[in-house]
């Protein structure tokens, strides 16, 4: 039981390049989330998927797109990377909230630098 | 709008002494409150949550938190700190009835426990 896994762990991009961050969970959770963590700002929600087949914007969605590929996988895409997207990205998952309020389980993160 | 404030960027405490990490929240209705811990280069780990009921919530690793509705606070406590408790602690809130999955995090408090 690996929990939430993310790839890659580290990435350096040049401005304008694109990339996809991958996330998978093996806990049979319905809900998945993407956050970014910046120093002194805590975690901010980029996008989330309450259940397979649905996605919604969070606090800071501009410059990102997501795909809920199946119940296990939720990817985050940067179409044209900008230096302002330099951050640590975390994926998380949880049970579907209509049946209760559940904690979120986090992956180890992807450290992205855009030059 | 929902928000969380962690008024202290850093808390320093000697091993064996009690520790408190402060959190205040702002929601227009009833809150769901969470504490997470982040060790260096790791994802966030869930510590405890308040949904309803007893104002004193017990969690992992000997931590507990006290919900105070009149002061809109949810402070994290531990009776006797360990050096291994040194980490970054995040408080998070969401409002009962709000959009699924929308957690709002504080900026984090760095706890250092010295031997």
10 Å Cβ neighbour count for A28? 9
> Which pLDDT score is estimated for A67?
96
Region A106-113: what's the mean pLDDT?
95
Taking only the tens place, the pLDDT of each residue in A89-108 is 999 998 876 656 778 999 99
A80 Cα to chain B: minimum distance (Å): 26
> Which pLDDT score is estimated for A100?
67
**Environment class of residue B66 by beta-carbon count within 10 Å: exposed (0-12), middle (13-18) or buried (19+)?**
middle
Whether residue A14 has pLDDT greater than 90: yes
Q: What rounded mean pLDDT belongs to chain B?
A: 92
CA distances from B86 to A44, A75, B14, B82, B113 (A): 23, 32, 11, 8, 5
Q: Does residue B39 sit at the A interface (CB-CB below 8 Å)? A: no
β-bridge pairing A87-94 and A105-106? antiparallel
Task: Provide the residue count of chain B.
Answer: 115
Q: Give the Cα separation of A86 and A23 in Å (integer).
A: 18
In chain B, which residues have their Cβ closer than 8 Å to the Cβ of A105? Answer: 46
Taking only the tens place, the pLDDT of each residue in B36-48 is 999 988 889 999 9
Chains A, B: CB pairs < 8 Å: 59
Region A25-47: what's the mean pLDDT?
92
- Name the pLDDT band for A13 (thresholds 50, 70, 90): very high
| Radius of gyration from C-alpha coordinates of chain B | 14
> Which pLDDT score is estimated for B29?
81
Percent of chain B with pLDDT over 70: 94
Contact A101 B49 (CB under 8 A): yes
Contact A103 B49 (CB under 8 A): yes
Region B60-69: what's the mean pLDDT?
95
Whether residue B84 has pLDDT greater than 90: yes
Region B24-49: what's the mean pLDDT?
91
The closest alpha carbon to B51, from A29, A45, A100, belongs to A100
């Amino acid at each position: 039981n690996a929990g939430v896994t993310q790839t890659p762990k580290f990435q350096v991009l040049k401005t304008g390049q694109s990339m996809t961050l991958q996330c998978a969970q093996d806990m049979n959770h319905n809900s998945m989330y993407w956050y970014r963590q910046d120093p002194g700002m805590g975690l901010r929600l980029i996008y989330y998927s309450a259940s397979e087949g649905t996605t919604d914007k969070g606090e800071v969605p501009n410059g990102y797109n997501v795909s809920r590929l199946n119940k296990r996988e939720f990817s985050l895409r940067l179409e044209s990377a900008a230096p302002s997207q330099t951050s640590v990205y975390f994926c998380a998952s949880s049970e579907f909230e209509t049946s209760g309020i559940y904690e979120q389980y986090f992956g180890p993160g992807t450290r992205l630098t855009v030059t | 709008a929902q928000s969380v404030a962690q008024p202290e960027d850093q808390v320093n405490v000697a091993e064996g002494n009690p520790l408190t990490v402060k959190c205040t929240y702002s929601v227009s209705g009833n809150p769901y409150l969470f504490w997470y811990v982040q060790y260096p280069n790791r994802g966030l780990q869930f510590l405890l949550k308040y949904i309803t009921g007893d104002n004193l919530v017990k969690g992992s690793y000997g931590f507990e938190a006290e919900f105070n509705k009149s002061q809109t606070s949810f402070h994290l406590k531990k009776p006797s700190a360990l050096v291994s408790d040194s980490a970054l602690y995040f408080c998070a809130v969401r409002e009962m009835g709000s959009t699924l999955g929308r957690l709002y995090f504080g900026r984090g408090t760095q706890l250092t426990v010295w031997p």
